[in-house]
Amino acid sequence: MLSRIESLRISTRLTLVNAAILICILLLTSLLTIPGIYFALYHQAEVELENSVARSLASAKASADLPPEKLPAPPSPEQREERLARDPDWVPPPPFVMQLYRDAALTPGVVLRVTDDTGRKIFDSASHYPSLADVRSHIVADPPFWANKDMQVATLGNFHLYYETVAVDWQGRRYDLHFLRMITAERSFLRALTSTLLLTNALGVLIALLAGYFVSRRTLKPIRTITQAAREIEVSDLSRRIPEPPAKDELRELVVTFNHMLARLESGFAQQRQFVSDASHELRTPVTVMLGYSDMLSRWGREDAETLDEGIAAIRSEAQNMKDLIERLLFLARADMNRQALNRTPVDMAELVGDVAKKAELVAADHTLTLTANDTGTIAGDPVLIRQMLRIFLDNAIKYTPQGGHIALASRREGDRLHVTVADDGIGIAPEHQERIFERFFRVDSARTKESGNKAGGTGLGLAIARWIADAHGIELSLDSAPGRGTTIHLLIPLAEDAATDNGSPPLP
């Protein structure tokens, strides 16, 4: 059953849940209403009857102590004759009964009948009520649970009566006081009320089902819109967005989140397409060169030693370039999948920076490279990646600085961080391009390479790798640059006292 319910549409499940809740409320209300009405009627009759019995007994006891002249006068001879004429069996009631009426001992609605020790009725305050014999013959063996268990309940047709008998001694004779109190004469009405409640409950459930279905469908309309939009969106066109509903509710948050996800997917697919396109272009160039030289070698290389040497050198150079490109692509791929490990260890930055500067001097033979400052400091990081990051910045400074230019490397301690700078007086970067130089395969234009005298150029991946290494180590990276005035890279590296020392890879940027 649960599996069937879970397979239904959300709107149907909401309708069933709302209907179930309403059914429970209606049934609970009905179950409380009918017994509540009966309890109120029975309780009211019970209280009035108990009060009448208590006051009657008190009045009878008090009247026994009164002198005869204080008691109600007996009927006159004329009254006796008139009453006997109407009822030959009539017996004058004892004075204490008349005293009950004088004391108003009976609550309105309570009927009193008095019988003597022989069982003869000597007083009846309501002759139209059923006889005592009828009442006794219709006493219920198991009265309802809301009735007083100390009182007898009689049911005659549509009538429900409380019946109680109390014995009284008066001047040496016993009298039985029979108290009757009508509980309800509307038994048929209560039955009709019960049927009406059941009918209205069924009608209410039907209305609840219809209203719940309508409301749930209207409420879930934005979800259907999202579903339809998701079906129509193709990978080739992620520019579509779902209109935001006017109400600021959870569905609006869902639509905003979904649109934000589409924007990120669109940006991601665009970057992926650009990445694949750029990678294909970068790989096609060395392959084309290698194929050209191999064709040349197959034609003339066997007889011409100079041509053979030139071809082999060119193929080897292009193969090395391709190897470097593939290694960088694999590095970024591992980084994107959070699989590029960081082997964090304490790193002596003075030693590392000095070693990087010394080896860079060998590469920058046509430039002046100076280590202007090298303060001591220990960081928690991967020494291989930190070294690679510094080499990338130095290689770019050498590549885009004309021959004879100056490059300065410095490491200064500033509080709890090391401030490492790589400065050159090369061609610089225009302001509109400074935010994008760390993107993969981004290069401003070919003129930068030509003006710097570097015929090989680069892959456009080095700065992207350097940016990932900096972010992975919590290094604050920034640059200052202007066309014709050079570029300065700023690296603010946390020292070991404030850096994390775990060996796991941090979340990728």
Q: Give the residue-averaged pLDDT of 357-371.
A: 89
pLDDT bracket for residue 509 (50, 70, 90): very low
Residue 125 has pLDDT above 60, yes or no: yes
Residue 361 has pLDDT above 80, yes or no: yes
CA 201 – CA 33 distance, rounded (Å):
13
Question: Which residues share a beta bridge with 113?
Answer: 124, 178
Q: Give the residue-averaged pLDDT of 89-98.
A: 76
Residue with the bigger pLDDT between 299 and 343: it is 343
Rounded to 5 degrees, φ, ψ at 162 are -90, 135
* Domains defined along the chain, listed by start: 2-194 (no CATH), 250-336 (1.10.287.130), 345-494 (3.30.565.10)
Rounded to 5 degrees, φ, ψ at 62 are -65, -35
Unique residue bearing structure tokens 């510094």: 390
Three-class DSSP category at 100: helix
Q: How much of the chain, in percent, has pLDDT values that exceed 90?
A: 20
CA 504 – CA 118 distance, rounded (Å):
107
> pLDDT of 56-76, one tens digit each?
888 888 877 767 666 666 666
CA 423 – CA 349 distance, rounded (Å):
18
Q: What is the DSSP letter of 298?
A: I
The reported pTM is: 0.47
Q: Give the residue-averaged pLDDT of 392-414.
A: 92
**Helix, strand, coil shares of the chain as percentages rounded to 5?**
55, 15, 30
Closest CA to 479 of 374, 350, 392: 392
- Model pLDDT, residue 173: 85
Q: Give the residue-averaged pLDDT of 368-394.
A: 92
CA 128 – CA 146 distance, rounded (Å):
28
Q: Give the residue-averaged pLDDT of 396-413.
A: 93
Residue 13 has pLDDT above 80, yes or no: no
Residue with the bigger pLDDT between 68 and 393: it is 393
Q: How much of the chain, in percent, has pLDDT values that exceed 70?
A: 84
Residue 152 has pLDDT above 60, yes or no: yes
Closest CA to 44 of 155, 160, 157: 160
- Model pLDDT, residue 478: 94
> pLDDT of 468-488, one tens digit each?
999 999 999 999 999 988 999
- Model pLDDT, residue 7: 61
> pLDDT of 224-268, one tens digit each?
777 777 777 766 667 777 777 777 777 778 888 888 888 888 877
Residue 102 has pLDDT above 60, yes or no: yes
Produce one character per residue of 444-465: b if its CB has 16 or more CB atoms within 10 Å, e if not: beeebbeebeeeebbbbbbbbb
Closest CA to 438 of 382, 509, 387, 486: 509
